[in-house]
Chains A and B, each alone.
Chain A
Amino acid sequence: MVMITYVEPNGGRQEIDVPEGWSLMQGAMSNGVDGMEAECGGSCACATCHCYIDEAALALIPPAADNEAAMLENVVAERRPTSRLACQVKATAALEGILVELPAAQS
């Protein structure tokens, strides 16, 4: 398990133990975290699992592949350098304790 702190759009924090190998989207959806839509179910086809990863953690995560980079263009909330699609980021031991912030809008 990897403990991830999700910051919901209203500022609420949820500390969730996400099984290693699950995506950060899956961890949120299976645990009732607010602020994630994930219309496409994790196939990198909807851009409604937009999140901001805390800057320090960004270096621990493989950079976005082409399909994620392309789909990120479709996010509706402000796109920042820390923007990622949560369905494309896997929980690994290295991410223990990181903050994942969810934007006010996904669609």
Chain B
Amino acid sequence: MTFDYGGYAGKTLRIDLTKGKIIKETQSKPKLEKYLGGRGVDAKILFDELKPNINPLHSDNVLCISTGPITGLLGPTTGRINVATKSPLTDIYGNSNAGSDWGPELKYAGYDNIIIKGRAPKPVYLCIDDEHVELKDAAHLWGEGVFETTLTLQEEQRGYDTKVAAIGPAAENGVLFCSIIFNLWDAAGRTGTGTVMASKNLKAITVSGSGELRVADPERYLEIVRDGWLGVLNDPGFLMGEHQALGTPICVNWGNAQGWLPTRNFRESTFEGADSISGEEFRDKYSTRSSPIPGGRACMSCPNRCKRFGRIESGKYAGTRGSIEFEGIAAFGSKCGVSDLEAVFHAYTLSNDYGMDCVSCGNAIATFMELVEEGVLEDIDKLGLRFGNADAMVEMVHRIANKQDKLGALGALGAYKAALKIGKNAVDYTTSVKGIDTIACDPRVAKGFGFTYAISSRGSDHLRTHVVFEMIRMPPEIGKELFGSEGACDLMSYDGKVRMVLWHENLAAITDSIGSCRFMHASYYAQYPVPELLGKLRNKKEVNSIKYHDWISAATGMKIDYKKLLEIGNRIVNIERALNTRFGMRRKDDRLPKKFSKPIPKGPGKGQRFPKKQLEKMLDEYYTSREWDLKTGLIKKSELIKLDMKDVLDDLDKKKLVR
């Protein structure tokens, strides 16, 4: 083993694009002990190396791409990769996560992470082939879509064995919410990471690796992952086929039935056309597999397979193909009031090829549609922007990507910045928190989700916690045991939700940092101690579960127990908070948009709102538990000392950013 800790590849790639320099560094052990990898380490790198006040598109911005200690090993999901930078969309901490097997390949090539700085004088791509790392000319790729870029690079190199992360023309054009797209379909979608990559003149990163990864304790490792694997396979949610059946689009019909499917830019939360844009419809009409239940596609070493591949064979959008996912369907579908799945699928694939985040793109279009209907914005380009107009929606995707005409240029700013520019009361129609628009779940119905939107470190986002716990009829006893209240198991209750969010937030920080997928502990509940509690309730003798702490320990050789695991999660949440503090985020920014204090007009969630008072009350509880200052939201000194983050404390203290 070349590195003391197992699991890791042991090396960092530092790329200075301005000078064209590539440095291979050995990983710092103390940093890994404290932050594990992935999201944690990335946040720390940004804290240490990023000048807070720069323009995100300045060459000094830092782009981090990181795997974690279990990425690429065998275990219940080991394929996720983390990307972090200062976001051009929100001007605060930007961060996104993607699947596929790009991350594992990077580790087989011998590197845990890449830190990219500077700006190349002309378009280049980074080619990683085991120890050969090179910047190569990308003139022939500049301006090309993600598909063309990826396929060309695969042809030029090792075919399907070359894994490609690419950006599209929208990013080159400076659309603020562009993604980095891994292996064609997996996007580190949100917060504009792709735009930053484009600003560095970096078109793509290709990897192929033939190396090997070792774990600290192979025998124990196998035992532990087998336990975790069985934990997932025996989870009641997995047994009923939550994601295997239809992939994440399973949520369309279900969200509609439960009354949280955002419709017409969150005017309503049920959509009359839900069935025609549902996962069922996709399976029946476009799935390319004759046996869709066992089919679907998965990230590295994942038994869950949440992605669905399909193709449109005929008609106006013939030839459209790709992997589809719930958030994108909702963004272009129900949020825009469009019930034509072919148009939605097409818009989705288009934005993928342009390299844009489909959520932000769909949200921008939906917001514009509402603004036009409400008379706040003029349909200057005469597109017929109205809810339900599928053609206008598809046309807008093209225009935004190319910043074409007035509306295209506006849309390229994302819903929030566009609304600021439009002026009047346009901002009241957006759903943004900290500058980023809201994903596809109405927070007025799902209270835990709602609270997450307010506090999440990258702005409105559910994935920081993914508190599905409140949605799946968990036995109330478990809510009581874990989060002190049976209300935690009730979608529309506020009780116990703060504690529920805390637990999920800490664990999600862990999964993002080790390279695993949060669906294993928050969708399925295969992570200790939930299966144990469920087992006790049902008098089951043998229970299998994932134990992230044992898993990390056996892989790396560090000694981590459950308590320490949660502490690391807490530390990661705090380093992100510290970063955001520097970017000027305070308590006043942990809020929900005005839109959500108005009641839902109809459906199962009728009359539900998320009152400001309630949010403030929950914030008090949350800050108290996190030991953050109630008034300002700054972290308390004592907490940073307790979490062994003296260096962070010293730095913040100098700028009076701690209490």
Q: Do A and B come from one complex?
A: no
Hey, which bits of chain A sit against chain B, CB under 8 A? none
